[in-house]
A = this chain, B = another copy of it.
Amino acid sequence: MDATRYTDLNTAQRTLLGPGPSMVHPRVLRAMATPLIGHLDPQFIAVMNEVQELLRYVFQTENELTIPVSGTGSASMEAALVNFIEPGDRVLVAVNGYFGERLCDMAGRYGAEVDRIDRPWGEVFDPQEIADALKKNNYKLLALVHAETSTGARQPDIATIAKAAHEEGALVVLDTVTSLGGLPVKIDEWNVDVAYSGAQKCLSVPPGVSPLTISERARTSLRERKSQVANWYLDLTMVEKYWGDARTYHHTAPVSMNFALREGLRLIAEEGLEARFERHQANAEMLWAGLEELDLPPLVPKEYRLPSLTTPQLSPSVDDAVVRGRLLNEYNIEIAGGFGPLAGKVWRIGLMGFSSRKENVLTLLAALKEVL
């Protein structure tokens, strides 16, 4: 082994304006670099308590079982399903983008009978069509996406949809990966049972932990399972004993990532949720105006367009990969392409958390003007 082959880490300073990871505030990086303490140390237990309190604040919930899952957003997505599905359970998934597709894939792996209701990528659902679909079968749960990271669409009327699901006896599982911390997510007011998110989007914390919140109704369902949860790492019947009063060892929590998450959430508490949402909206509107001027009109109508993620449509004259490559290599700006049915048709531009700053909008628009 010639160790000299491996130099000091020397990565470029990127302006991260893709669908995540977003940029991370220096305070979060510094907190993450704190020397470690043990995962059962009383001082770490205190950190855990604070992380839970702060997560409840951003989720706007009183749910006791509100925790960071020890993996990236896909892990909390899987935790949100596997704990509430037993083989043969019927699950309804509302699909209008990639992450709806993934919910179907995951639910199927755990033996659910999956029905789906579809809308084209970029559109959202009318609550009534979901209510109608819920009546067609005896569903254990309804899963849907609040903020579709693949399309930039925000599903409105979550409260109405949750009410319809509860009338049919179904739990509501909500993907808030690209909304939590960037636009209102009101778990208790909307009566959502299970919601998950990622750290690396509007919370501006490095990927590696992922917020999850579970209502009392969902916990009752978890307790009433007849079979063991078909996943050890994400089994909430065990995880809740580590994050609850018992503090029973389950797996080693990612200590440094929890330090980072605590600091990222503390920054949100200092800014205040309302001010943060206003900042995201104002910077997004500035971006949208600039994109219209560049003949890159957003795909999603303004009434349900995400402030955190914009999907401008490309005219045929724009060479998708070439432009993104030049932005990255010449200007150190990351944006992302579309995928699935939107591949080559849109970009995905994120203004999330610490990335949502006026100077970043200006830099991107100016660079686009140069490159196009």
Contacts and interface: CB of A to CB of B under 8 A. Distances in A.
29 contacts: A1-B269, A1-B273, A6-B54, A6-B266, A9-B263, A12-B43, A13-B35, A16-B36, A16-B38, A18-B38, A21-B252, A23-B35, A29-B35, A33-B33, A41-B328, A71-B75, A71-B251, A72-B254, A73-B251, A74-B251, A78-B232, A78-B233, A109-B229, A198-B252, A200-B255, A208-B257, A231-B231, A256-B256, A256-B257
A12 B24 contact: no
Contacts of A57: 1
Nearest to A51: B6
A339 B37 CA distance: 20
A207 B39 contact: yes
Contacts of A21: 36, 38-39, 252, 255
A105 interface: yes
Contacts of A12: 37, 43
B72 A232 contact: no
Contact of A72 (B31, B38, B251): B251
A53 B260 CA distance: 28
Interface string A95-117: 00000001001101110000000
A365 interface: no
B14 A252 contact: no
Contacts of A253: 72, 207
Interface of A: 1, 3, 6, 9, 11-14, 16, 18, 20-21, 23-24, 29-44, 47, 50, 54, 57, 70-75, 78, 102, 105-106, 108-110, 198, 200, 206-208, 228-234, 249-257, 259-260, 262-263, 266, 269-270, 272-273, 328, 334, 336, 339
A259 B38 CA distance: 21
Interface centre among A13, A33, A228 (most CB of B within 10 A): A33
A221 B65 CA distance: 39
Given A32-B33, A78-B232, A257-B254, A38 B9 contact: no
B29 A24 contact: no
A252 B207 contact: yes
A12 B24 CA distance: 25
Nearest to A329: B42
Contacts of A37: 11-12, 14, 16, 334
A29 B33 contact: yes
Contacts of A42: 328
Contacts of A110: 230
A228 B272 contact: no
Contacts of A30: 33
Interface centre among A109, A228, A254 (most CB of B within 10 A): A254
A230 B78 CA distance: 11
A33 B26 CA distance: 9
Given A24-B35, A74-B250, A109-B230, 8 more contacts: A72-B251, A72-B252, A73-B251, A106-B232, A200-B255, A206-B256, A206-B257, A207-B254
A197 B365 CA distance: 46
Contacts of A259: 9
Contacts of A71: 70-71, 75, 233, 251
Contact of A38 (B109, B252, B263, B334): B334
Interface centre among A34, A38, A255 (most CB of B within 10 A): A38
